[in-house]
Amino acid sequence: GTGTILIAEDERALRRLSATVLRQAGYQTIEASDGQQALDLFTVHSKSIVMVVTDVVMPRLGGIELARRLRKARPDLPMLFVTGYVEQSEALYDQGAPVLLKPFSPDALIKAVATGLREPQT
């Protein structure tokens, strides 16, 4: 892959692992520990970010609200929601972005990112 992916995940180990997996796949990564930090980082790096991978439930600002705010700035920005709650994943499909359920394998993450970058967001 190519381009920079912003990862918003409050669970440090999962955030670091996701960043490592995506870097090994050829992407650059920027890491945020919550939605507010992701929003701040996006403001600085918006031109280079090709996708946002965000957890849904995070302190300060959750992933759905983060996506809503980012899409005001860039409506076509690819998003990937990550959640550990199956029932939540069903509601997320209405957001027009793919959903990756935790726990996930490195291959599943790479595949979901590649698919999200290929398919237009609604």
**Which pLDDT belongs to residue 20?**
98
Q: Span 92-106, mean pLDDT?
A: 82
Identify whether the C-beta of residue 58 lies closer than 8 Å to the C-beta of residue 35.
yes
Q: Span 44-65, mean pLDDT?
A: 94
Residue 79 has pLDDT above 90, yes or no: yes
**Which pLDDT belongs to residue 89?**
65
* Reported confidence tier of residue 88, pLDDT bands at 50, 70, 90: low
**Which pLDDT belongs to residue 94?**
65
b/e 46-71 (16+ beta carbons within 10 angstroms → b):
eeebbbbbbbbebeebbbbbbbeebb
